[in-house]
Amino acid sequence: MIDWDTLTRVGQNDENARQIKMAECLSPLVIPVDAFQCIYVSSKETENKVADMLKQKGIIFPPPFITVMSQWFE
């Protein structure tokens, strides 16, 4: 069951909220890259690595956009 209240609440970053918000990333299925609107990463270094991996696979973007959100990974 998805806890939509916690998932959509801005500014809540306690451990429980972080686990709920990151759980949306879990899937038993393969999701094609063109289904992604954005890939959030922890740093500029990781952003560059992800961009390089996408380019190596011939994936032209945007989308998916790559956005640094370091506070999500603290």
pLDDT tens-digit readout, 44-56: 999 999 999 999 9
Respond yes or no on whether the N-terminal peptide bond of residue 64 is cis (omega within 30° of 0). yes
**Per-residue model confidence (pLDDT) at position 45:** 95
Q: Are 43 and 16 in contact (CB under 8 A)?
A: no
On the CB side of 50, how many CA atoms lie within 13 Å of its CA? 19
- Through-space distance between the first and last CA atoms of the chain, rounded to whole angstroms: 25
CA-to-CA separations, 14 to 2, 19, 21, 48, 60, in angstroms, rounded: 17, 9, 11, 28, 35
Report pLDDT digits (tens) over 8-39: 888 887 888 888 877 666 778 888 887 888 88
